[in-house]
């Protein structure tokens, strides 16, 4: 990608640990599509929020070609999730994608990320809470100082007026960790303990300290995909409950 009109890199925590994976969310110049991935794995998987309203999450074409056995084990499709968002909503907002980054899942892992201007660092939430990063669409009528959820505690990372007339917003909020998130963690960890778990030869990592795991769950009624950034089982960080 040689030119972008919008690109954001977000991480929760501190470069000297503990911290989350680094999210990368971007929209190419001249296009109304929005994409998201984890910075360390941007060439392996991608979430696409297309101008048409079609949304999908899964392996990239290149990575799927390298991992034919894993794709077969997944059912033959490189897409793990497919859903549709409402488009051209006027002042009404829609949220087709959220990332949940719980305090309980922050770890010091692998090579520490570099603090710098390219990453927006969000302070870690207290234990029992999560940072929720939301990809939101609206009509062009909302100004930048009227971002969705502002009165309810959301924070604006950035926005882009898309060529098709919609407006894209990237927001974050500190929220109590929900029962949905706890359920996603429990289900995923139970699955990872099963011997038949799908493995990717290039990236499945069982080595300490605490490799990261991305957990996907669709909420069809809300036309929403939630991606939870988790650590493999290890001791949680000591995060002050007063922050």
What average pLDDT does this structure show over 79-106? Answer: 91
Give mean pLDDT, residues 208-213: 61
User: 97: pLDDT confidence band, cut at 50, 70 and 90?
Assistant: very high
pLDDT digits (tens, 9 = 90+) for 74-88: 665 566 788 999 999
Q: Look at residue 71 in the predicted model and tell me its pLDDT.
A: 60
Helix (H) or strand (E) holding 63: helix 61-66
Three-state SS at 205: coil
Q: Which residue has the tokens 């963690």?
A: 185
pLDDT confidence band for 3 (50 / 70 / 90): very low
Residue 182 scores a pLDDT above 50: yes
Token pair for residue 25? 């969310």
pTM score: 0.84
- Helix, strand, or coil here: 227? strand
**pLDDT (tens digit per residue) in 183-195:** 988 887 776 666 5
Q: Where are the domains of the chain?
A: 4-231
pLDDT for residue 50: 96
pLDDT at 108: 83
**pLDDT tens digit string along 124-178?**
999 999 999 999 999 998 888 999 999 999 999 999 999 999 999 999 999 999 9
pLDDT at 201 over 60: no
Structural tokens at position 37 = 């991935």
Q: Where does the pLDDT of residue 102 fall: very low under 50, low under 70, confident under 90, or very high at 90 and above?
A: very high
DSSP string, 147-192: -TTGGGT-EEEEEEE-TTSEEEEEEEEEEEPPHHHHHHHHHHHHHH
Smallest Cα–Cα separation from 146: which of 159, 132, 128?
Answer: 159
């Amino acid at each position: 990608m040689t030119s972008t009109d919008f690109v954001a890199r977000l991480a929760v925590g501190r470069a000297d640990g503990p911290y989350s994976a680094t999210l990368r969310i971007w929209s190419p110049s001249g296009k109304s599509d929005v994409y998201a991935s984890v910075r360390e794995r941007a060439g392996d998987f991608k979430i696409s929020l297309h101008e048409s309203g079609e949304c999908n999450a899964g392996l990239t074409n290149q990575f799927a070609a390298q991992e034919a056995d894993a794709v077969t084990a997944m059912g033959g499709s490189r897409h793990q999730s497919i859903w549709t968002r409402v488009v051209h909503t006027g002042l009404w907002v829609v949220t087709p994608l959220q990332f949940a980054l719980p305090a309980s899942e922050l770890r010091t892992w692998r090579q520490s990320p570099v603090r710098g201007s390219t990453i927006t660092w969000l302070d870690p939430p207290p234990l029992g809470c999560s940072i929720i990063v939301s990809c939101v669409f609206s009509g062009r009528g909302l100004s930048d100082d009227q971002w969705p959820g502002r009165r309810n505690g959301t924070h604006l990372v950035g926005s882009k007026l898309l060529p098709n007339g919609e407006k894209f917003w990237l927001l974050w909020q500190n929220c109590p960790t929900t029962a949905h998130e706890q359920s996603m963690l429990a289900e995923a960890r139970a699955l990872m303990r099963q011997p038949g778990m799908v493995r990717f030869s290039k990236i499945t990592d069982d080595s300490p300290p605490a490799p990261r795991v991305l957990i996907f769950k669709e909420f069809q009624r809300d036309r929403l995909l939630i991606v939870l950034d988790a650590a493999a089982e290890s001791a949680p960080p000591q995060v002050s409950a007063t922050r």
